[in-house]
């Protein structure tokens, strides 16, 4: 159940961290951030502020608000100081800058701290009034796989360099007047909402579910094969490992082929994905959808009749997409020879 926090505010005191997001779905990475913040910042509580709708994220693929709020409640189970809340929905705000303006005014005695991952530190210059956000509350940025290095060299970090504090000041940060922020080093939790959604979609497809609408006109078989060759060539040029093509014709509604490949590092996956997208766009492929770009373990590229999954080896072995579709995983042949 969401925490009973009045959107009209109250006179509560203490340090409160606010971890906002779509939570589509909430996962252990969110709990990891919340628990780290409670300990390292000396917080009284962390609010999981579930957004009714993120202006920067497409509606397609966004679970209903009630489901996302319930997922936040599940990951908070067992820690009474982590409080999932529908506060933003009840405030009726759409942008973080609006939400924080109301919260700082309606909870004047609380020491509010904004918590966010390194991915948001990279993306925050796209947020409405992002410089005002830095001026409203202290901010703590947490490492995220594939994003931390980008955050350290991103536009927001450069622009707000004068107000950045060393991580050794973390315990004092909540009591400081903004602008004041820091990047808190620590373990990068591998959980990703994007990957969870992709895994669920793969499970549904393997069970005969429909992951997306049928295209209005299926491409001819030779066009599909040409697209597969284009994709495989691009991946081979980027030194992808263990490229596998899975025939989905007659088995799934979302695509005719699936291509699965591995890269040894997150940087290689990102380069492979970016080069492949450029190649597809030059070839005239439109409406390419991507998930996980910038993360380190799994990138999904949906090119219509062909879907591409790029993994690091350990993630590929974990999700085992080939086995879902009745194929042998790379390396299994040697084990059973």
- Angle (CA) 123-127-128 rounded to 5° is 165
Q: In degrees rounded to 5, what are phi and psi of residue 89?
A: -65, -40
Residue 49 has a CB neighbour count (10 Å cut-off) of 26
Q: How far apart are CA 93 and CA 87, in angstroms?
A: 10
Rounded distance between C-alpha atoms, residue 273 and residue 255, angstroms:
19
Closest of 122, 119, 193, 109 to residue 158, by C-alpha: 122
Of the candidates 29, 1, 33, the residue with the CA atom closest to the CA atom of residue 17: 33
**pLDDT score, position 213:** 43
pTM above threshold 0.85: no
Name residues whose C-beta falls within 8 Å of residue 23's C-beta, 6 or more positions apart in sequence. 30, 48, 50, 51, 68, 69, 71, 72, 193
Q: CA-to-CA distance for 178 and 180, rounded, in angstroms?
A: 5
Rounded to an integer, what distance in angstroms lies between the CA atom of residue 18 and that of residue 114? 5
HSE (CB half, 13 Å, CA atoms) of 109?
6
Contact (Cβ atoms closer than 8 angstroms) between residue 50 and residue 5: no
Q: Report which DSSP code applies to 295.
A: B
**What is the residue whose two structure tokens read 């409080």?**
83
Mean pLDDT in each 10-residue stretch from start to end of the chain (337 residues)?
Answer: 78 96 90 96 96 66 86 91 92 90 96 96 93 97 90 95 96 97 87 65 56 44 88 95 88 80 88 93 86 74 89 83 66 39
Taking the alpha carbons of 51, 55, 58, 59 in that order, is the dihedral positive or negative?
A: positive
Count other Cβ atoms within 10 Å, centred on residue 171.
12
As its CATH architecture, domain 14-183 has 3-Layer(aba) Sandwich (3.40)
pLDDT of residue 38: 97
How would DSSP label each residue in 136-198? HS-EEEE--TTTHHHHHTSHHHHHTGGGB--GGGGGGGGGSPSS-EEE---------HHHHHH
Contacts of 101 (CB under 8 A, 6+ apart): 136
Domain with CATH 3.40.50.620 in the chain: 14-183
Token digits of residue 277: 């997208």
What integer pLDDT is reported at residue 210 of this predicted model? 44
> Contact at 8 Å (CB) between 179 and 135?
yes
Token reading at 203? 């499970």
Q: How far apart are CA 229 and CA 221, in angstroms?
A: 12
d(CA 161, CA 147): 18
Alpha helices in 9-147 (DSSP H): 28-41, 65-76, 87-91, 96-106, 118-123, 130-136
Residue spans in the chain of domains classed CATH 3.30.460.10? 193-336
pLDDT of residue 76: 92
| CATH T-level topology, domain 193-336 | Beta Polymerase; domain 2 (3.30.460)
């Amino acid at each position: 159940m969401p925490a009973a926090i009045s959107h009209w505010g109250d006179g509560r005191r203490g340090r409160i961290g606010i971890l906002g997001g779509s939570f589509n779905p909430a996962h252990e990475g969110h709990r990891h951030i919340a628990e780290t913040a409670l300990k390292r910042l000396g917080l009284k509580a962390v609010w999981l502020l579930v957004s009714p709708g993120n202006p920067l994220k497409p509606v397609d693929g966004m679970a209903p608000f009630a489901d996302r709020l319930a997922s936040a409640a599940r990951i908070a189970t067992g820690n009474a100081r982590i409080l999932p809340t529908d506060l933003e929905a009840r405030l009726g705000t759409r942008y973080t800058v609006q939400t924080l303006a109301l919260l700082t005014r309606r909870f004047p005695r609380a020491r509010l701290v904004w918590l966010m991952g390194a991915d948001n530190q990279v993306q925050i210059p796209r947020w409405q009034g992002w410089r005002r956000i830095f001026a409203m509350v202290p901010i703590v940025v947490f490492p995220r796989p594939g994003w931390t290095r980008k955050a350290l060299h991103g536009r927001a970090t450069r622009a707000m360099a004068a107000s950045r504090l060393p991580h050794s000041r973390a315990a004092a940060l909540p009591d400081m007047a903004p602008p004041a922020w820091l990047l808190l080093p620590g373990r990068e939790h591998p959980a990703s909402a994007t990957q969870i959604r992709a895994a669920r979609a793969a499970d549904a497809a393997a069970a005969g579910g429909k992951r997306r609408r049928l295209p209005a006109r299926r491409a001819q078989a030779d066009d599909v094969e040409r697209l597969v060759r284009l994709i495989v060539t691009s991946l081979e040029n980027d030194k992808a490992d263990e490229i596998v093509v899975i025939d989905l014709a007659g088995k799934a509604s979302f695509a005719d082929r699936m291509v699965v490949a591995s890269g040894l590092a997150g940087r290689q996956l990102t380069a492979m994905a970016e080069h492949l997208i450029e190649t597809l766009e030059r070839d005239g492929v439109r409406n390419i959808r991507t998930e996980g770009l910038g993360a380190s373990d799994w990138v999904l590229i949906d090119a219509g009749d062909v879907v591409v999954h790029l993994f690091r080896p350990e993630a590929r072995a974990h999700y085992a997409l080939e086995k879902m579709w009745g194929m042998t995983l790379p390396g299994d042949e040697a084990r059973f020879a």
